[in-house]
Structure 1
Amino acid sequence: MTAILANRQEAGRLLSLRLANYYQQPDLIVLGLPRGGVPVAAAIASNLSLPLDICVVRKLGVPSHPELAMGAIASDGITVLNPSIIESCRVTPKMIEEVKTRELQELHRREQLYRGNRPYPSLAEKKVIIVDDGIATGATMEAAITSVKHQQPQEIIIATPIICDRIFSQLQCKVDRIISLLKLQSLDSISYWYANFNQVTDAEVCHLLSQTS
């Protein structure tokens, strides 16, 4: 099967059509998950004339298999863990803390780089659209949702081009609405569905944020 999305920008444009009811709504903000979610979020924010910001989260990889997520952490320290992965991979509490410490340092580096002197936006009583370029395991998105919920928003909407059906069901009860272009029974590779899935750089994230500041 050939890719159905040209790139992240097209994914954002198509998602904005599904989100047309939110056009220029007051007290609404779009948050992209760096790095890959930011170009998607920027296209949504631009097409709907909404403010753009970021919610920085990081996957917590199993020490022996870093690509395997045992959880995720947000820049405010909020952590989501997957007990079954931790148990099956025999990850000790000490190992978890070591990974958390390392990833939190990277989170703070990115937060400072992307945000600079701009304060984190107040989300209290606002509608928040959280955007990523695809959701396979749901770990980073769940950490983002938990972090955003602590600020007591009025409504949380997830927008993503591609999502695994099982993860859709898991996240559905945690937010008000999930908007996706494609819901798949299994999702082994997000990049498979994009013709262009080049890695998003820090410089690109900073550029996209500067265009909306």
Structure 2
Amino acid sequence: MALTEIYSTSSEAFTDRRQAAQTLVEHLEEYSGSDSLVLGIPRGGVVIADCLANSLDVQMDVVLTHKLGAPANPELAIGAVSEDGHLILDDQLAAITGASRRYIEEEKAKQLEVINSRVKQYREILAKSDVGGRTVILTDDGIATGATMQAAVWAVKAEGAAEVVVAVPVGPADSLERIAEDADKIICVRSPAYFGSIGRFYQIFDQVSDDQVLKIITEQAKRRRDHG
């Protein structure tokens, strides 16, 4: 079970994603200037990751893992597929939810199709980072059910990350508790008793466009080249 650090149960809204990220930076100073890698979940999480990486002076990338949803409950993750097609499956949960081998293969193919469309966009600009032996900080603009983040945790652990830290501005306690079963550390700025939706914790919560993501990863690719 991961060490879980929740700093407030306040429902106060952040101004926007960048202000939320700056609040999160204060609790990640121990990773400043290290070989740690910040991975953002597209698309809102990429904005958070960009701020964290720049403030902490660490490398940034995107995580293109997708969850495999259960047959009757797509929000329940029974596994994950990474951008290289690697399948991580919770065999027990798959059996309980009645996920047949055929269903799993079809769900994997569907999620890979979505992943591949983003790989074509993103990887021409920013090469995939090696996570092996590194501390990986996974981030998003918030956690709701936690299924997507859980899938990302599974994937980076399967790729050999030495430590997996989940760092988010806001998330409900029950979802954080589930993710803590697989991550090494959870850092969450605010976790109020009544959650609702992620958007209610932001004064400005505009949809992040693909163009915005491409701009960020282009800047991060240049930063990576400049750092050698």
- Calculate the TM-score normalised by the size of structure 2: 0.79
Match of 1:15 among 9, 15, 24: 24
Amino acid at match of 2:14: L
Give the direction of change, closer, same or farther, for the CA distance of 1:40–1:118 in structure 2 (3 Å limit): closer
Q: Which moved more, 1:97-106 or 1:49-58?
A: 97-106
Cα pair 2:67 2:151 within 8 Å, conserved: no
Identify the residue that residue 207 of structure 1 maps to in structure 2. Answer: 215
Q: Which sits farther off after the overlay, 75-84 or 16-25? A: 75-84
Distance 1:64 1:200, change over 3 A: farther
Q: Tell me whether 1:148 sits opposite 2:117 in the alignment.
A: no
* Contact in 1 for aligned 2:37/2:60 (Cα 8 Å): yes
Residue 108 (structure 1) aligned with residue 116 (structure 2): yes
Taking only the aligned residue pairs, the percentage that are identical comes to 31
- Give the superposition deviation at 1:199: 1.1
Cα deviation, residue 194, structure 1: 0.8
Deviates more, 1:91-100 or 1:154-163: 91-100
Q: Residue 98 of structure 1 corresponds to which residue in structure 2?
A: 106
Do the aligned partners of residues 95 and 40 (structure 1) sit closer, same or farther apart at CA in structure 2, a change above 3 Å counting? same
Question: Which residue pairs with 2:60 in the alignment?
Answer: 52
Q: Relative contact order (C-alpha < 8 Å, sep 6+): which is higher?
A: 2
Q: What is the RMSD computed on CA atoms of the aligned residues?
A: 2.6
2:197 matched to which residue of 1?
Answer: 189
How far does residue 62 in structure 1 lie from its aligned partner after superposition? 6.9
Contact 1:34 1:57 in 2 (8 A): no
Q: Is residue 69 from structure 1 mapped to residue 75 from structure 2 by the alignment?
A: yes
Runs of 5+ consecutive residues of structure 1 not aligned to the other structure: none
Alignment of 1:121-140 (within 5 A): 121-140=129-148
Conserved 8 A contact 1:5-1:11: yes
- Decide whether aligned partners of structure 1 residues 120 and 60 sit closer, same or farther in structure 2, where only a CA change above 3 A counts: same
Residue aligning to 2:6:
none
Letter in 2 for 1:32: G
Alpha-carbon distance change, 201 to 80 in structure 1, aligned in 2, over 3 angstroms = farther
Return the letter of the residue paired with 2:33.
Q
Q: 1:73 to 1:184 in 2, by over 3 A?
A: farther
Q: Secondary structure at the match of 2:84?
A: coil
TM-aligned CA deviation for residue 101 of structure 1 = 1.8
Note the residue ranges of structure 2 that are not aligned, 5 or more in a row.
Answer: 1-9, 222-228
- Asked if 2 retains the 8 angstrom alpha-carbon contact of 1:61 and 1:69, the reply is yes
Question: In 2, distance between residues paired with 1:64 and 1:169?
Answer: 23
Does the CA contact (< 8 Å) of 1:73 and 1:140 recur in 2? Answer: no
* 2:12 pairs with 1:6: no
Q: How many residues end up aligned between the 2 structures? A: 207
CA contact (8 A) 2:81 2:155 kept: no
Is 1:165 the equivalent of 2:173? yes
